[in-house]
């Protein structure tokens, strides 16, 4: 009896303690949750207050700025910074203000540069255009050719373009070659090395990490994933890469020799291939080496350069040792922007599509199937829009997303509105999937396109996990349930299904190209296989209709509907100020990454980009069927 009482008392004690503990836990949770909500509320209030203060500060500094006076004789200083971008201009005033003051300070819009040059061409006050590429970090061949053509038009008006630099990298020099005169600082030099494509190959690393990389592809030249299953470049990829590299370099050198009549092909080749000899002949002086090779016209220090320009346009009002000038960004604020204020109600819509092709909604640095489809649908439904020009700069991405966009393009065409494709630096694989059904395809000579092929990839990590003592096990209602996991091996029947899907996707790709380009399947098969082509070669083979830039494509669209280039307008998502601010906050990471990259040696930066490209393949290119039409050419740079 006494033992029973003790047992009952013990149970009551345990129940009491448990109840007390539960009460304490509930109370603690309530307190901490409430405290967390309070802190979150305070954080939101503080963040909003800081944001409001920031906006007020920026707006005040903006409105306090005095307009820059342009003297009767001045030089236009064109010194683009960061990356040359081709996205549509901001359509929200606050968004424009915030971007200019914050995140986009390191970037230079291509269309703004072209508008500035075109306006300065007819401005009698602008006597000289000074091109300074010192702060230019990223520009592609197409952009160089487009800006170069505008510079040549400026020269033909009787004015002079003078390029200046302390040192010219290859990309800087290719753009500077369009100038009438190139001036180099005696401390600098000129880098010319040709084009190349090198990649990191990690088959052995994956083996050591015990990662099973299951690859499924269709197309002999579809080499996008070779770094995951090879230790070197395959013969097929080597042949294909050499072909388009030679096409691009051949076109570039022809243009370079045209721009610099005193430069001879033999002298250019000798400078590139035997630079050490030429440098030795000039006692190690890189500037004299460039001058003796006719790559530059003068060697002047910065003070002497300023004095020289002052003799052409006059001295600055506040400094007799400097020349009268206006910066291109200040000059741009005075001028009308292209493709923003059409004079007529009837319009040509320009839609820009840049980056990887992904499902759903995506920011402007990527092509979202839903995002782009909405714009195409809007263009189709708007009665004032008579034609559409789709400007593409993409190496491809998700096959499903590409097909969703193509379906919307077919709807647009069925409405009777012409669709013209304008290819930028890159319009390959999934981007070509999207383009094939267009009424016309315009590419630039140095565009990279084609890459008609499909792949699927499924890495599994069961052996890697097992190595550290982690195993996957469980039960399922059906044999296939739970098998599609990165922690479990891929079954033979799953592998076979994936390969069949890839084969079917490839067949579908061939049929789309054959139908859109009015070619037979046999003809398309000879052009496909994942083979990358230059714009020049694609034009010869019938995958592209015309060679030209965005304005050429806009003019062609206008000719079809009785309009001209001035009737075109950028069509883009209407973003609220809150959305714009959110994107700016998210983009700060990109700003600091760009800033940090200036202090990273180039080989390490190349390594980081290679790792980033491979990481994005699996974390960004999400396709519901795990099928991709991607060229992975994003890492090709000058």
Active site positions, annotated = 222, 429
Q: How many helices (H) and strands (E) does the chain have?
A: 23, 25
Q: Most distant CA pair in the chain: distance in Å?
A: 117
444 secondary structure, DSSP code: -
Per-residue tokens: 362 = 């995506």
Distance CA 86, CA 143 (A): 9
Q: In 65-140, which residue ranges form alpha helices assigned H by DSSP?
A: 93-101, 110-121
Number of other residues whose CB lies within 10 A of the CB of residue 298: 15
Q: How far apart are alpha carbons 390 and 419 in whole angstroms?
A: 7
The rounded distance, in Å, linking the Cα atoms of 76 and 73 is: 10
Q: What is the β-pairing status of strands 440-443 and 419-428?
A: parallel
- Residue 191 Cα to chain centre, angstroms: 24
Exposure string of 439-459, with b = 16+ CB inside 10 Å and e = fewer, is: bbbbbbbbbbbbbbbbbbbbe
User: What 8-state DSSP symbol labels residue 344?
Assistant: S
Beta strands in 158-227 (DSSP E): 160-165, 181-184, 212-218
Instruction: Write down the residue that tokens 């700069």 correspond to.
Output: 393
Give CB contacts under 8 A, 24+ apart, made by 263-271.
263/293, 263/294, 263/295, 264/294, 267/293, 267/294, 268/192, 268/293, 271/192, 271/295
List the alpha helices (DSSP H) in 474-601.
Answer: 492-517, 521-527, 535-541, 550-561, 577-597
Place of tokens 């350069």: 305
Are the CB atoms for 314 and 75 separated by under 8 Å? no
Asked if 557 contacts 470 with a C-beta cutoff of 8 angstroms, the reply is no
Q: Which of 482, 486, 458, 487 is nearest to 470 (CA)?
A: 487
SS (H, E, C) 276-327: HHHHHHCCCCHHHHHHHCCCCCEECCHHHHHHHHHHHHCEECCEEEEECEEE
- d(C-alpha 613, C-alpha 2), whole Å: 76
CA 353, distance to chain mean position in Å, is 10
Residue 39 makes CB contacts below 8 A (sequence gap 6+) with none
Q: Where are the alpha helices (DSSP H) in 293-416?
A: 302-313, 328-333, 369-381, 399-414
What's 92's DSSP letter?
S
Cβ(527)–Cβ(423) under 8 Å? no
For residues 197 and 242, the answer to whether their CB atoms sit within 8 Å is: no
Helix axes 577-597, 93-101, angle to 10 degrees: 20
167 near 146, Cβ under 8 Å?
Answer: no
């Amino acid at each position: 009896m006494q033992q029973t009482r003790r047992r009952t008392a013990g149970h009551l004690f345990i129940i009491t303690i448990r109840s007390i503990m539960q009460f304490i836990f509930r109370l603690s949770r309530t307190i901490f949750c409430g405290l967390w909500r309070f802190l979150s509320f305070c954080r939101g209030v503080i963040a909003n207050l800081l944001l409001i203060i920031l906006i007020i500060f920026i707006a005040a500094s903006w409105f306090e700025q005095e307009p820059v006076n342009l003297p009767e004789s001045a030089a236009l200083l064109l010194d683009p910074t960061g990356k040359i971008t081709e996205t549509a201009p901001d359509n929200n005033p606050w968004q424009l203000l915030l971007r200019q003051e914050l995140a986009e300070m390191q970037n230079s819009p291509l269309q703004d540069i072209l508008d500035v040059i075109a306006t300065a061409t007819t401005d009698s006050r602008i006597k000289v255009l000074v091109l300074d590429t010192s702060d230019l970090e990223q520009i592609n061949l197409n952009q160089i050719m487009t800006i170069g053509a505008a510079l040549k038009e400026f020269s033909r008006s009787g004015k002079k373009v003078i390029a200046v630099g302390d040192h010219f990298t290859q990309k800087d020099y290719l753009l500077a070659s369009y100038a009438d005169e190139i001036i180099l600082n005696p401390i600098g030099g000129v880098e010319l090395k040709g084009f190349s494509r090198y990649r990191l190959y990690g088959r052995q690393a994956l083996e050591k990490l015990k990662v099973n990389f299951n690859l499924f592809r269709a197309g002999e030249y579809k080499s996008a994933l070779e770094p995951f299953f090879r230790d070197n470049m395959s013969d097929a990829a080597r042949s294909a890469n050499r072909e388009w590299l030679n096409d691009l370099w051949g076109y570039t050198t022809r243009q370079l020799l045209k721009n610099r009549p005193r430069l001879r092909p033999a002298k250019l080749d000798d400078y590139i291939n035997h630079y050490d000899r030429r440098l030795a002949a000039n006692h190690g002086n890189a500037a004299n080496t460039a001058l003796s090779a006719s790559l530059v016209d003068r060697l002047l220090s910065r003070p002497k350069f300023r004095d020289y320009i002052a003799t052409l346009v006059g001295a600055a009002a506040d400094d007799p040792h400097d020349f009268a000038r206006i910066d291109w960004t200040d000059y741009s604020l005075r001028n009308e922007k292209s493709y923003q204020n059409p004079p007529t109600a009837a319009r040509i819509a320009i839609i820009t599509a840049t980056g990887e092709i992904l499902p759903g909604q995506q920011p402007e640095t990527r092509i979202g199937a839903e995002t782009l489809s909405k714009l195409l649908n809007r263009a189709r439904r708007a009665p004032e829009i008579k034609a559409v020009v789709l400007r593409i700069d993409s190496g491809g991405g998700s096959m499903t997303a590409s097909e969703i966009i193509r379906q919307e393009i077919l709807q647009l065409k069925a409405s009777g509105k012409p669709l013209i494709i304008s290819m930028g630096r890159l319009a390959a694989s999934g981007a070509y999937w999207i383009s094939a059904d267009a009424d016309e395809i315009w590419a630039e000579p140095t565009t990279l396109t084609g890459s008609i092929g499909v792949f699927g990839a499924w890495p599994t990590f069961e052996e890697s996990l097992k190595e550290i003592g982690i195993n996957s096990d469980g039960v399922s209602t059906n044999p296939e349930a739970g098998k599609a996991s990165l922690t479990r091996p891929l079954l033979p029947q799953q592998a076979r299904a994936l390969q069949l899907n890839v084969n079917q996707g490839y067949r579908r790709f061939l049929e789309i190209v054959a139908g859109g380009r009015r070619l037979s399947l046999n003809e398309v098969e000879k052009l496909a296989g994942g083979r990358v082509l230059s714009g020049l070669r694609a034009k010869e083979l019938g995958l592209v209709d015309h060679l030209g830039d965005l304005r050429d494509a806009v003019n062609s669209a206008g000719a079809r509907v009785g309009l001209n280039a001035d009737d075109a307008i950028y069509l883009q998502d209407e973003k609220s100020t809150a959305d714009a601010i959110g994107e700016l906050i998210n983009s700060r990471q990109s700003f600091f990454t760009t800033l940090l990259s200036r202090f990273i040696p180039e080989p390490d930066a190349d390594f980081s980009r290679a790792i980033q490209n491979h990481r994005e393949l699996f974390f960004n290119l999400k396709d519901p069927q795990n099928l991709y039409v991607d060229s992975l050419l994003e890492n090709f740079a000058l």
